[in-house]
Structure 1
Amino acid sequence: MLLGISASALCAPTAPFFDGVLHARSPHGVYTELRFEPHRLIAQVHGPRTCVLHAHLVHGDPHVSHYAIETPQGGHFCDELVDGEIVIHPHSPIDVMAEFKSPRMRWSGEFDRYMPRR
């Protein structure tokens, strides 16, 4: 399914966009947006942990996709994810689970495809 998301990114005027909340071990989460581009993922983490992560596809199949996190662009939260990965588990074309993990931290959350109103 995620490969379908990546393939649709090639033909779509805008990249598929998902939003949701990342959680660690506490009930407090952080709102995050995911944008899938061909062979890439961009994660915008919002306040209070504001930062942007870029990651490139390492392995993908219909059940799971692994993205290697590139050097973060500011923010302590993203700095803690250096040498980490984002793992995407698609449930459907409009619902995925994402794990953000590194040797220093692990966060996960459910994300829904954002469908702008026309």
Structure 2
Amino acid sequence: MKERLDTVRAKVQALTTKVKANYYPTADWISYLEAKHLLLLNYCQPLVYYSLRKAKKFLINGYPVVRSLVEIRLFLEKIRPIDKKLQYQVENLTKVTTSTTEDVGPSGKEL
């Protein structure tokens, strides 16, 4: 799970860096991507804590982490229509970003 989170974080940071540098003409909706990125990160934290409590067979009824998970999940469901509208653009930018980051070596120089 941590490896996937690190992969997503690296891809999103690479994409937002390029957008902020006006590499892509998408500055109008980059704040949405940043907000969603933070929302997903904030969802992962209580989810891990919840999973840990469940794994150790602790009670979770009435625990604040459950309310936090429900609230964040509701936000994610409310923004789903926006995701669908931007899905094509985000996929294209992700493909371009992935291809350009693969062309760059660990030292930051082109291969």
Indicate the structure with greater strand content: 1
Indicate the structure with greater helix content: 2
TM-score calculated relative to the size of structure 1: 0.25
In our comparison, the structure showing a higher alpha carbon Rg is 2
TM-score calculated relative to the size of structure 2: 0.26
